[in-house]
Amino acid sequence: MVESGFIITIDGPAGVGKTTLARRLAAHLNIAYLDTGAMFRAVAWKLGQDGWLKDEQTLARELKRMSFTLTGQGEESSVCLNGKALGPEIRTETIGLWASNVAKLRVVRDFLKKAQQEIGRQTSLVAEGRDMGTVVFPHARYKFFLDASAQVRARRRYLQILDLDEDDPEAQGIEDSPELKTILEQIKQRDEQDRNRAIAPLRPAKDAIVIDTSDLTLDEVFLLMKNYLNL
Ligand code: DC
* 198 residue type, one letter: A
- Residue 168, SS3 per DSSP: coil
Q: Is the CB of 15 within 6 Å of ligand 1?
A: no
* pLDDT-derived band at 168, boundaries 50, 70, 90: confident
Among candidate residues 173, 135, 122, 131, the one with its CA nearest the CA of residue 37: 131
* 231 residue type, one letter: L
- Provide the CB-side half-sphere exposure for 123 (13 A, CA): 20
Q: Is the CB of 194 within 6 Å of ligand 1?
A: yes
Q: For the chain, give percent helix, strand, coil, nearest 5.
A: 55, 15, 30
Instruction: Report the nearest-CA residue for atom 15 of ligand 1.
Output: 103
Adjacency order of strands within the sheet including 84-85: 68-71, 78-81, 84-85
Residues near 117 by beta carbon (within 8 Å), at least 6 away in sequence:
136, 137
Is the distance from CB of 194 to CB of 100 less than 8 angstroms? yes
Whether pLDDT at 77 is above 70:
yes
Mutate to test the pocket of ligand 1, among 34, 35, 40 (most ligand atoms within 8 A of CB): 40
Q: What is the pLDDT of residues 107-164, one digit of tens each?
A: 999 999 999 999 999 999 999 999 999 999 999 999 999 999 999 999 998 998 898 8
* pLDDT-derived band at 3, boundaries 50, 70, 90: low
Q: Is the CB of 40 within 6 Å of ligand 1?
A: yes
* 202 residue type, one letter: L
Taking the centre of ligand 1 as the mean of its atom positions, its distance from the CA of residue 221, in whole angstroms, is 21
- Provide the CB-side half-sphere exposure for 98 (13 A, CA): 23
Instruction: Report the nearest-CA residue for atom 11 of ligand 1.
Output: 100
pLDDT on residue 93: 85
Mutate to test the pocket of ligand 1, among 9, 105, 130 (most ligand atoms within 8 A of CB): 130
Q: How far apart are CA 219 and CA 93, in angstroms?
A: 25
Taking the centre of ligand 1 as the mean of its atom positions, its distance from the CA of residue 130, in whole angstroms, is 6
Residue 34 backbone phi and psi in degrees, to 5:
-115, 115
- Whether the pTM exceeds 0.85: the reply is yes
Per the prediction, the chain carries an average pLDDT of: 94
Taking the centre of ligand 1 as the mean of its atom positions, its distance from the CA of residue 150, in whole angstroms, is 16
pLDDT on residue 165: 84
Question: What's the fold here for domain 7-219?
Answer: Rossmann fold (3.40.50)
